[in-house]
């Protein structure tokens, strides 16, 4: 299992645009067979910060996600272009 968070900063003026693209990306990502969890959040009190929690069954599923049309359209060519900073943290589950 691969689990991680992605924290991104945006200009507050881009909030509605980022919100729309994240909603679309989230809905499509959850349909992927290798996606276990995909939850996007705006941080309370900070409308310019997004936190996404993602889980995939394995590395191949994550790579497949990154090659999808919806990831390209809404992520890489969408809100990523508005991003001011990004921090990815990989997690190790305690099981």
Read off the pLDDT of residues 25-66 as tens digits, 9 standing for 90 and up.
999 999 999 999 999 999 999 999 999 999 999 999 999 999
Whether 95 has a pLDDT exceeding 80, the answer reads no
Report which of residues 90 and 93 the model is more confident about.
90
pLDDT of residue 53: 98
| Among 36, 37, 40, residue whose Cα is nearest residue 79 | 40
Domains in the chain with CATH codes: 2-91 (3.30.70.100)
Distance CA 30, CA 64 (A): 13
Q: How confident is the model at residue 19 (pLDDT cuts 50, 70, 90)?
A: very high
pLDDT digits (tens, 9 = 90+) for 61-74: 999 999 999 999 99
pTM: 0.94
Task: Tell me the C-alpha distance between 26 and 37, whole Å.
Answer: 10
């Amino acid at each position: 299992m691969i689990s991680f968070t992605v924290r991104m900063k945006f200009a507050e003026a881009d909030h509605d645009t980022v919100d729309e693209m994240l909603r679309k990306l989230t809905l499509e990502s959850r349909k992927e067979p290798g996606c276990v969890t995909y939850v996007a959040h705006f941080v309370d009190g900070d409308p310019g910060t997004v936190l996404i929690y993602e889980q995939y069954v394995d590395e191949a599923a994550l790579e497949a996600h990154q090659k999808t049309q919806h990831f390209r359209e809404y992520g890489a060519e969408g809100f990523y272009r508005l991003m001011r900073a990004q921090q990815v943290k990989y997690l190790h589950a305690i099981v």
